[in-house]
Each structure stands twice: as C-alpha cells, then as structure tokens.
Amino acid sequence: MNFGSLGKNSFMPGEYRKVSENLFPSKGFARGKGPDMKTIVKFAGALGIGADYQRLLAMDRDNTGMLAFLERFQNNLELLIQKTWVEKADERRKQKLLDEVPSLLSAIKQGDFPKAIENFGKILDELAYLFFGAQSEKEDFNEYTFRIDSQMGLFWWYGSRLASIKEITLKNGDRDDKTLWAVLLLGICYLTNF
C-alpha cells in the first residue's frame, strides 16, 4: 500500500489530520515516547469504534470476553477473505492470506506485539489487494479510499503506518507492550465491526 504523507496538500479530511498526526507523527517517535492512551482513544473515535474500543481496551487480554472477541475477529476476518471475489489467478493469494490469520492470533496470545503488528500489517496489505486489486499498489490509493468512505480511508492509512510503531520502547529500553497492544487493537476492533 502506498499512502503518502500528511502534507499541506493532503487528501486526508481536516477532521482527521490532527488525530492522525498525533498517533503517527510524520517525524516518527522519540525513544521512550509513543502515543498516549488519550490519543489512541481519540483515533478510535475517528474510526467510528470509540465506545467498543474503550470497552475492549479496559479488558485483560486473557479475559474470557477478550478471548471471545478475538475469536469473533478471526471469524469475521476469515469471512471477509473468503467472500472476497477475486480472479482465478488470485485464489492462491487468498488461501495464503487465510493461512496467515492463525499466526497473527498466536502472536497476540503470546504477547509478542511487534510480531503481531508485523503480521497484521501484512494481512492488511493483502486484504487491500483482495478488496481493491492493483489499485491498492498505486500512488493514489489512500486518496482513493478516502473518496470511497473517509473512515475506511483512515483505516487503510492507519494500516500503512503500523510498521512505524512496532519498535516503540520505554525510556529504559523495554518494549511498551501496553501501547503496542492498544494500537493493534484499533485495527482488530475496526475489522471486527467492518
């Protein structure tokens, strides 16, 4: 996916620019600093999943409700993949994508959020291809998705920025798993409600 930046002449609607720049600063994150929870929750609101997201964010990952939610996410993601119409030549790609879903869930359950974010980013790239074909690889893809639906465009923009966040660490050099999980949960929650 090629999404461009948030420059002055950006295709992103104004109401999303500030919350997007706060979540994924164009200059990247300073060591020991990632987005705060308030910023992440505001981004969830912009995606239209604010209340559901906050409810999920308050749960422990091994909570029965969260495990049920992750199962619902898996089922919905697999359904999205299976029901996507593709050319016969892309059927193999579709099956390969279905095979990637369990590794994403495994990384989440193990608490390996950099790996989970990497897996989720790959899944989103392929899902964009299944939904939009070769358009997903074009320079104006983000602008294209914003024209279709602004929240959906914001979601695909978020997906393109995930790789920039997977290395967030605390000042002492440890990974900031709480922030990584919160940012990953944004995409999971959105796709579960898609």
What pLDDT, in 10s, does the model give residues 129-141?
Answer: 989 988 998 988 9
Which residue is associated with the tokens 């990497």? 118
Alpha-carbon distance of 130 to 191, in angstroms, equals: 15
* Cβ 16 vs Cβ 46: under 8 Å: yes
Helix/strand/coil percentages in the chain, nearest 5: 70, 0, 30
What does pLDDT average to over the chain? 87
CA dihedral (35, 41, 46, 49) in degrees, to 10, reads: 140
What average pLDDT does range 60-68 have in this prediction?
91
Alpha-carbon distance of 82 to 130, in angstroms, equals: 10
Alpha helices in 25-138 (DSSP H): 37-47, 50-57, 64-83, 91-110, 113-132
Confidence of residue 85 (pLDDT cuts 50, 70, 90): confident
pTM for the predicted model, two decimal places: 0.88
Alpha-carbon distance of 169 to 172, in angstroms, equals: 8
